[in-house]
Amino acid sequence: MKAVIIGAGMGGMSAALALRQIGIDTHVYERVTENKPVGAAISVWSNGVKCLNYLGLESRTAELGGIVETMSYLDGHTGQTMCRFSMQPLIDEVGQRPYPIARAELQSMLMQAYGLDEINFGHRMVSVHDGPDSATATFADGSTVSADFVIGADGASSITREYVLGGPVTRRYAGYVNYNGLVDVDDAIGPATEWTTYVGDGKRVSVMPVAAGRFYFFFDVVEPQGAHYEKGSAREVLRAHFADWAPGVQTLINVLDPATTNRVEILDLDPFYTWVKGRVAVLGDAAHNTTPDIGQGGCSAMEDAVALQWAFRDHPDDVPAALAAYQQSRAERAGDLVLRARKRCDLTHAKDPEKTADWYAELREEDGTNIIRGIVGNIVGGPLTPVS
């Protein structure tokens, strides 16, 4: 059985590793010429970590992961603690610590585990087609490759998705912009083993530890889509948005490196439940493009990879049956996470300011129980985190 995987992001690489684990001959094609991930880090929640462990990456993942012992919400203006609580109940309940990990390191780990030399860089797929016995991808240089099936892990603007759905779809601007990067851990911003979040006015500033004494930071700001932004001006822009915020936020703005701070307009896509056309299927952001508000997009891509492996393990000689089983096991779960993230996004960014004010009031009463229940609700439901 031969598989072609388009895209060497965290979805495509996880799928390639997962399929190879069961003896499928995998071939990965990636349009960029070298590994240069956009974005600073991601939080890999326990469901995602379990997938990485399953792919044989347990010790390396733990080395790269930041240790989050506690979580806190602070009043953005005063810096006063609204709530602070241990993550241990979450770890006990789901049986795995989550790990924030620098994106470049996560991506390198996956690529190295697969074999960097085995990835076909510099191959931009321009079309994909399905036939009775094989599926074929065509690249920008005119070359083609055929296989028993093609997995389109070609990200949020996937052209595989266009093929599967029969036409393009329009993604939705979620209403805010995320500025993110890495800085050295600094107690003046937040404790070294805490995921600290400052909230106020529908804005959010957050830091969480990744390996080697660094914080992954991000700022969420409600801005119109397509607003003018000069690269390298993050400090001035953030100073203007957070002028009267707490000293910890000012410290973060002062220490961040504007040259490496990313600015991302956040979009998502209504869930859709057809992921397969014949011998072609979508995976990762190509199949479920979510806002990052519950930190589940990448985790969900890793879940797809494990589910895809299981579908081929259960239907080893029957591509249509395997891909149908894959879609069946994933589409609803992944769509649910997209909608959960959208709901959280609206609350965090004050789509309805009254509801957000109520949420701030709840945070002042919170002992962690409700927040952990919500996060556990996101984590369970994947292949390695069944609902008990």
Query: Which residue(s) pair with 376 in the sheet?
Result: none
Please state, in angstroms and as integers, the Cα–Cα distance from residue 313 to each residue in 145, 334, 386, following that order.
Answer: 24, 21, 19
| Cα 195 off chain centre by | 17
Q: Binding ligand FAD by CB under 6 A: which of 65, 66, 76, 155?
A: 155
Please state, in angstroms and as integers, the Cα–Cα distance from residue 223 to each residue in 203, 266, 334, 347, following that order.
Answer: 11, 10, 27, 16
Using CB under 6 A as the binding rule, whether residue 153 contacts ligand FAD is answered as yes
Query: How many C-beta atoms surround the C-beta of residue 320 within 10 A?
Result: 12
Q: Which stretch binds ligand FAD (CB under 6 A): 121-129, 247-255, 273-281, 347-355?
A: 121-129
Whichever of 77 and 129 has its CB closer to ligand FAD, that residue is 129
Q: At its nearest, how many Å lie between ligand FAD and the CB of residue 80?
A: 26
Question: Which residues touch 241 (CB under 8 Å, ≥6 apart)?
Answer: 203, 219, 221
Q: Among candidates 335, 316, 325, which has minimal Cα distance to 381?
A: 335
One symbol per residue from 179 to 218: x for binding ligand FAD (CB under 6 A), - otherwise; what is it? -x--------------------------------------
Using CB under 6 A as the binding rule, whether residue 76 contacts ligand FAD is answered as no
Spatial distance between the Cα atoms of 63 and 88, rounded to a whole number of angstroms: 19
Q: Binding ligand FAD by CB under 6 A: which of 30, 148, 201, 220?
A: 30
| Cα 82 off chain centre by | 27
Phi, psi torsion values for 346, nearest 5 degrees? -65, -40
Q: Indicate the SS3 state at residue 110.
A: helix
Using CB under 6 A as the binding rule, whether residue 175 contacts ligand FAD is answered as no
Using CB under 6 A as the binding rule, whether residue 278 contacts ligand FAD is answered as no
Whichever of 134 and 178 has its CB closer to ligand FAD, that residue is 178
Q: Binding ligand FAD by CB under 6 A: which of 301, 322, 345, 350?
A: 301
Token pair recorded at residue 182: 């890495």
Using CB under 6 A as the binding rule, whether residue 299 contacts ligand FAD is answered as yes
Using CB under 6 A as the binding rule, whether residue 104 contacts ligand FAD is answered as no
> Side chain identity at 65, as an amino acid letter?
G
Q: Binding ligand FAD by CB under 6 A: which of 3, 16, 24, 43?
A: 43
Spatial distance between the Cα atoms of 180 and 217, rounded to a whole number of angstroms: 6
Using CB under 6 A as the binding rule, whether residue 15 contacts ligand FAD is answered as no
Q: Among candidates 153, 125, 115, which has minimal Cα distance to 12?
A: 153
Q: Which stretch binds ligand FAD (CB under 6 A): 1-9, 199-207, 229-237, 244-252?
A: 1-9
Interacting residues with ligand FAD (CB under 6 A): 6-12, 29-32, 39, 42-43, 48, 123-125, 153-156, 159, 178, 180, 264, 284-285, 292, 295-299, 301
